Chains A and B, each alone.
Chain A
Amino acid sequence: MYLKISGLAALALSLACCGGGGGNSPPPVITTTNCGTTSTETTSITGNITYDFVPHHTSGALDYGNISAEPVRGAGVELQYANGNVFSSATTDAFGRYTLQAPINEELRIIVKAELRETGTPSWQVRITDNTQNNAPYLMQGSVSCTDEAPQSRSLHASSGWTGSEYGNTRVAAPFAILDSVYQSLQLLLEADPSLSLPELELRWSTENKAINGNPASGNIDTSSYDGIYIYILGDEDNDTDEYDRSVVQHEFAHFIEHRLSRSDSIGGGHGPQTRTDMRVAFSEGLANAFTAIASASGIYEDSYSSAQSDGFNYSLENFNANNFGWFSENSVNLILYDLVDSDDDDADTISLGFAPIYETLRSPSYRDGEALTSIYSFTNALRSILSVSEEIGLDDLMASQQIFGRGAFGSDETNDGGVSDSLPIYQSLAVGSSVTLCTANGNNDSINFRNDNYNGFDVRRFASVEINNSGDYTIEAERAFGTLLSDPDLTVYQDGNEIAFFGSSAADSESGNASLNTGLHIIELHDFNATTARTCFNLSINTGNN
């Protein structure tokens, strides 16, 4: 398996250690304390910061019999007086080590923040907070103890809190386990982009975070997720905890990366490797699955749950067969992306690009500003521009092995309709002054999607592309042509991934609206909000001027 971590990435973090006292240091006044006589000189405190990492059984369950102490890497460490004033600060290196300046014969404690912070180039700020406690950041602290003239060693360890059959003690390690999954992800990103500039990120975790839809401030977070701003992580013992599920944390982190550093048109919602979803969802989720398999160097996706976290599941990104092949399958997407990166050649996989070209493509203007909606097509179309001829052949082989035959950003000439003939072509061509018929269904006949799903199933939304040659006002209309009565078509207009207009009235069987459109290609999405079990077809038209 390929996946080397470059020395540069480790160096970027280890160089951050050994910070000095800074502006928080008190003036060097000699006095007598409980520890003795202070000095104008300073000494040093060094130590190791570790946390309990709970690995997984091969079943995907957590394996409390093999807990190991792992380094807390890249975290902020401070030497504080009892009143909270900071004498000095540093950042742990790749081995969890730190060095701090310390005053002599003073009473101070070590605190470790569940935070990764790097300023300059590269840069990031990632914090783990508690959404049930006013989003306060987590930290662990040692005791207030006397320093000495001689250098001291103070090592802190975050315990899992596991007492044999339950979390009988405070789960100190949990925020640091989440932090370390992000640290691991940063290594992968730094390998591809040494100048990484990451927007601020807050991951919210609590022992009260349950899989119930409701108010996150009460711990009802629905599931581990990224909501476009924050990442929420489950912590509900005996039901579903995710702090040690690197796959889950890194999957959601990948959504953050895709959203903030690249582009995502995904509409979100429920999904899994066996579901057939909207192509935007399939690509986003497949990318996130592949990202964690690569970042963790595990090659798998795994998730624990149940009483005592004693059950779970996992699947290989190398060869998991979900019997679900195509542009609508996140499993197809993640297998392709993983095979593009890894160094193992097998079956249709003859290509080993590493992660950098994937990242480069995600960041490229041709992908981020492209006319087509994000999908395996738009991504691979942008990727091709940096591939050699032989690499393109390797990519073609991978896509064919997943029964993806369309080409270009719009998936032209795709022949895999997923068993729903209305799904092709992926984009119907529409001209100003004319109409086109688009048919939707709600997945009822699709054994893989949710029964009666009318949100992100692959047969729920349909797309048309229209070239606007003259900027101005246009009227866009959809009217039920045949199918179920009391349909409720809604229309969304996009240009280069930006939403230009949304027409979402609850008028039965028709929808219309006026939009001011610039020149260029536009995508119109048709969604029947009331999609039923039966196929319903609509005439979609666009005309100049307002109604």
Chain B
Amino acid sequence: MKLLSRLVIALTLFSSTLALNAFAEKAKTTYQYQKPGAPIRLAEPNLIQMEPHSTKTVTISFQTPSAGELSISAKPSLGINIDDTNQHNFDLATSPPSLTLQVDSQEEGLYNIMFQASISENGPNMHRVFGIAVQVGNPPATTKQKASTPYVIMKAEETIK
């Protein structure tokens, strides 16, 4: 009976949510103009969150075409480690590709894992580099903006005669 009550409540909440959302207006989705590259992207582009000095196993799935061959490798930024930086090959006709990685964190901060991918189909390989952010602990939400200066000043090599 208790279980049934919970189910009814759950169904009621679910249907209420449906009703509330039934005519919710969506924002129109738009993307920027991007450079050409291999047709691959993260299936779930959410950041990886973990505690400092901890280990977490993550499975990262990729959206790809359903034909061709994918070669992909992962590379962590300084400050985190992963257990597998080898190149992996996938036949895309079988199933959506994914990599399971063990991530070791150290200090609190924002890091990333970058993927270098190459897809071969219909001619030369096409490539794309993309990545996922790794948040270790609770680093400040503020961006890395440095002190406001009117210019980014760089030193030139100069010859005076």
Contacts and interface: CB of A to CB of B under 8 A. Distances in A.
A453 B66 CA distance: 11
Nearest to A286: B36
10 contacts: A130-B152, A140-B154, A156-B157, A211-B128, A211-B129, A274-B39, A305-B127, A315-B123, A451-B66, A455-B29
Given A303-B127, A449-B65, A159 B157 contact: yes
Contacts of A502: 28
Interface stretch (B5-13, B50-58, B100-108, B114-122): B114-122
Interface in A205-220: 208, 210-215, 217-220
Interface stretch (A13-21, A316-324, A399-407, A425-433): A316-324
A158 interface: yes
A274 B152 contact: no
Given A444-B66, A451-B65, A506 B24 contact: yes
A447 B127 contact: no
B109 interface: no
B2 interface: no
A508 B32 contact: no
A105 to B, nearest CB: 15
Given A210-B114, A453-B63, A154 B29 contact: no
A401 to B, nearest CB: 17
Given A305-B116, A315-B124, A451 B96 contact: yes
A425 B150 CA distance: 55
Interface string B52-86: 00000000000111111000000100000000000
A141 B151 CA distance: 11
Contacts of B160: 142-143, 145, 152-154
A446 B133 CA distance: 30
Nearest to A529: B26
A82 interface: no
A436 interface: no
A208 B133 CA distance: 13
Given A323-B122, A447-B65, A455-B29, A223 B35 contact: yes
Contacts of B114: 210-212, 236, 239
A272 B85 CA distance: 26
B127 A269 contact: no
Interface centre among A212, A219, A490, A492 (most CB of B within 10 A): A212
A220 B133 contact: yes
A447 B36 contact: no
Given A132-B146, A223-B35, A268-B32, 10 more contacts: A112-B156, A133-B146, A153-B159, A158-B157, A211-B129, A220-B133, A223-B130, A285-B33, A301-B36, A506-B23
A145 B96 CA distance: 63
The 8 A-B residue pairs whose C-beta atoms are closest, nearest first, are: A447-B67, A268-B31, A142-B158, A240-B129, A156-B156, A140-B156, A269-B31, A255-B33
Interface residues of B, number: 66
Contact of A227 (B32, B110, B123, B146): B32
B32 A225 contact: yes
B65 A226 contact: no
Contacts of B65: 446-451
A311 interface: yes
A110 B152 CA distance: 15
Interface in A161-184: 170, 172
Given A133-B152, A273-B126, A303 B37 contact: yes
A224 B34 contact: yes
Contacts of A507: 22-23
Contacts of B110: 218
B92 to A, nearest CB: 8
Interface of A: 110, 112, 129-130, 132-134, 136-143, 145, 152-159, 170, 172, 208, 210-215, 217-220, 222-228, 236, 238-240, 242, 248, 251-252, 255, 266-275, 284-285, 288-289, 301, 303, 305-306, 311-313, 315, 320-324, 330, 444-453, 455-456, 490, 492, 502, 504-508, 529
A516 B21 CA distance: 26
A34 to B, nearest CB: 16
A239 B131 contact: yes
A271 B34 contact: yes
A464 B142 CA distance: 47
Nearest to A508: B22
A102 B151 CA distance: 23
A172 B67 contact: no
A44 to B, nearest CB: 13
A303 B25 CA distance: 40
**Which of the listed residues B23, B45, B151 has the most CB atoms from chain A within 10 Å of its own CB?**
B151
Contact of B131 (A211, A226, A312, A449): A211
Interface string B125-144: 11111111100000000011
Nearest to A228: B32
Contacts of A323: 122-123
Nearest to A504: B26
Contacts of B112: 210, 212
Q: Which of B68, B128, B131, B161: most chain A CB closer than 10 A? A: B131
A368 B129 CA distance: 35
B153 A139 contact: yes
A137 B127 CA distance: 31
B149 A134 contact: yes
A271 B5 CA distance: 50
Nearest to B63: A450
B130 A158 contact: no
B161 A152 contact: yes
Which of B22, B32, B133 has most A Cβ within 10 Å? B32
Contacts of A268: 30-34
Contacts of A140: 153-156
A155 B32 contact: no
A385 B6 CA distance: 70
A342 B152 CA distance: 40
